[in-house]
């Protein structure tokens, strides 16, 4: 995968952190999280299939590896705990490599 594609996925992933609280049980393609994620990923140059794969990976990873409180923190308007954000960024980057 080209560096530009990975960068686009990372950017779209970072933009998705505010909707991360919706990720629990959100791998369903009709969920708000998936719709928003796929829309942002395709706007950043990913084809629909790769965008869906990336977003599914991200939703599943957030659900599996983050507590509800951590997901709500990612969605907060008053700042995100640095360690939680770092874990979320690492998850998004890992999903970008797999897509």
pLDDT digits (tens, 9 = 90+) for 29-66: 778 888 888 999 899 888 999 999 999 999 999 999 99
Q: Are 22 and 32 in contact (CB under 8 A)?
A: yes
Confidence class of residue 72 from pLDDT cuts 50, 70 and 90?
confident
- Mean pLDDT of the residues in the chain: 79
pTM: 0.73
Residue 25: DSSP 8-state: T
Question: Does pLDDT of 16 surpass 60?
Answer: no
Q: Are 33 and 26 in contact (CB under 8 A)?
A: yes
Distance (Å) of CA 45 to CA 24, 39, 63? 26, 10, 26
């Amino acid at each position: 995968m080209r560096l530009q594609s990975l960068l686009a996925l990372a950017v779209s992933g970072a933009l998705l952190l505010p909707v991360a609280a919706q990720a629990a049980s959100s791998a369903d393609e009709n969920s708000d999280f998936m719709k928003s994620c796929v829309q942002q990923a395709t706007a950043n140059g990913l084809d629909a299939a790769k965008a869906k794969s990336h977003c599914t990976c991200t939703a599943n990873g957030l659900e599996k590896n983050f507590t509800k409180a951590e997901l709500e923190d990612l969605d907060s308007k008053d700042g995100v705990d640095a360690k939680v954000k770092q874990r979320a960024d690492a998850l998004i980057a890992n999903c970008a490599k797999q897509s």
